[in-house]
């Protein structure tokens, strides 16, 4: 970590199942756009050590465009989606000295209740879908975050699959331990967990890309709402090129969310804090002032 001057599971699972549409499972179509995802190299200077989040507040809309049940990202499309996200992000402008930047937060690897042909218990989003959302994000000067729910696959394997997109300067990464399963475990039946080594593997991967392609620093978000989801996060290593964010996940009323936010951060903080808010599932949704009053102050705010 760089020195700084300023220094519900059933509902979620049902939404995940709903994304398994036939249109998203066409391997030939996915491969056809593989090359398109690897956009031309941008002439960027070598990365310095200035972080993204030291002077940026990310406000993201989470989900998958194939279903409204998985999050707000699937409830709107096109110009309406961009306009509504921009409006939500703008609500924070007067509450921070940072630049407020919107982002689409796409669940790009979706845990599944069945093993499928490869027995990995996850579905990889079609490359056409990811590419289309990246293009929409760029048209609106947003960022794109790709979220991995690995099922019984590995973080390494899923990052490698997403490499053509993660090699782009405006695409960030998120990991969801809730849906990281061991042998014999089924997504949605049990809350999963990751180890610090999974996060460190992601840091290694992103740093290698940044150095090889001379990209600016990136953001890595890790979700957590129980103590066991990332029990050894004190072993997450430092990075000079990647901002590591701990997102306190889970829905509920305000007292419960404040309690979980405090407990997860007391267990061990990471470099930056984040919180996820649920438009439909949260009771008495936090207002923007309430969010910015949390300690530690969030650097990323995720709306589902």
pTM of the complete model: 0.85
In a domain, 278, yes or no: yes
Q: Are 59 and 93 in contact (CB under 8 A)?
A: no
How many domains, in total, are found in the chain? 1
**pLDDT of the residue at 60:** 98
- 133 φ, ψ (degrees, to nearest 5): -70, -35
Q: Per the omega criterion (within 30 degrees of 0), is the bond before 296 cis?
A: yes
In a domain, 232, yes or no: yes
Spatial CA neighbour of 108 closest among 141, 83, 76, 134: 134
- 250 φ, ψ (degrees, to nearest 5): 100, 145
In a domain, 24, yes or no: no
Exposure string over 248-269, b if 16+ CB within 10 A, otherwise e: bbbbbeeeebbebbeebbeebe
CA distance 277 to 291: 9
Domain that holds residue 70: 52-303
In a domain, 1, yes or no: no
Strand, coil or helix: 23: helix
In a domain, 29, yes or no: no
Residues facing 146 on adjacent strands: 106, 173
In a domain, 32, yes or no: no
**pLDDT of the residue at 27:** 41
What CATH number corresponds to the domain at position 149? 3.20.20
> Could you tell me whether strands 99-111 and 122-124 are parallel, antiparallel, or unpaired per DSSP bridges?
antiparallel
In a domain, 240, yes or no: yes
**pLDDT of the residue at 48:** 53
In a domain, 227, yes or no: yes
Given a cut of 50, the residues of the chain with pLDDT beneath it are 3-47
């Amino acid at each position: 970590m760089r020195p700084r001057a300023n220094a519900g599971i059933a509902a979620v699972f049902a939404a995940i199942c709903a994304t398994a549409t036939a249109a998203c499972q066409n391997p030939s179509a996915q491969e056809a756009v593989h090359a398109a995802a690897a956009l031309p190299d941008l002439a960027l200077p070598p990365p310095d050590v200035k972080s993204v989040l030291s002077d940026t507040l990310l406000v993201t809309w989470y989900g998958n465009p194939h279903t409204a049940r998985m999050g707000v990202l699937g409830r709107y499309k096109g110009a309406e989606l961009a306009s509504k996200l921009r409006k939500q992000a703008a609500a924070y402008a007067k509450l921070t000295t940072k630049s407020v930047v919107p982002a689409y937060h796409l669940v790009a690897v979706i845990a599944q209740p069945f093993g499928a042909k490869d027995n990995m218990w996850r579905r990889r989003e079609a490359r056409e879908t990811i590419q289309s959302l990246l293009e929409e994000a760029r048209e609106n000067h947003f960022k794109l975050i790709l979220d991995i729910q690995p099922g019984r696959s590995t973080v390494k394997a899923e990052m490698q699959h997403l490499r053509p997109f993660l090699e782009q300067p405006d695409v960030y990464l998120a990991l969801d331990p809730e849906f990281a399963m061991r042998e014999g475990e089924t997504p949605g039946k049990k809350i999963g967990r990751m180890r610090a080594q999974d996060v460190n593997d992601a840091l290694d991967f992103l740093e290698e890309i940044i150095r090889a392609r001379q990209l600016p620093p990136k953001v890595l978000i890790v979700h957590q709402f129980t103590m066991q989801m990332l029990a050894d996060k004190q072993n997450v290593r430092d990075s000079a090129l990647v901002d590591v964010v701990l997102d306190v996940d889970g829905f509920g009323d305000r007292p419960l969310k404040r309690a979980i936010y405090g407990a997860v951060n007391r267990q061990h903080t990471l470099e930056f804090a984040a919180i996820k808010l649920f438009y439909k599932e949260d009771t008495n949704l936090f207002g923007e002032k309430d969010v910015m009053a949390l300690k530690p102050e969030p650097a990323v705010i995720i709306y589902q």
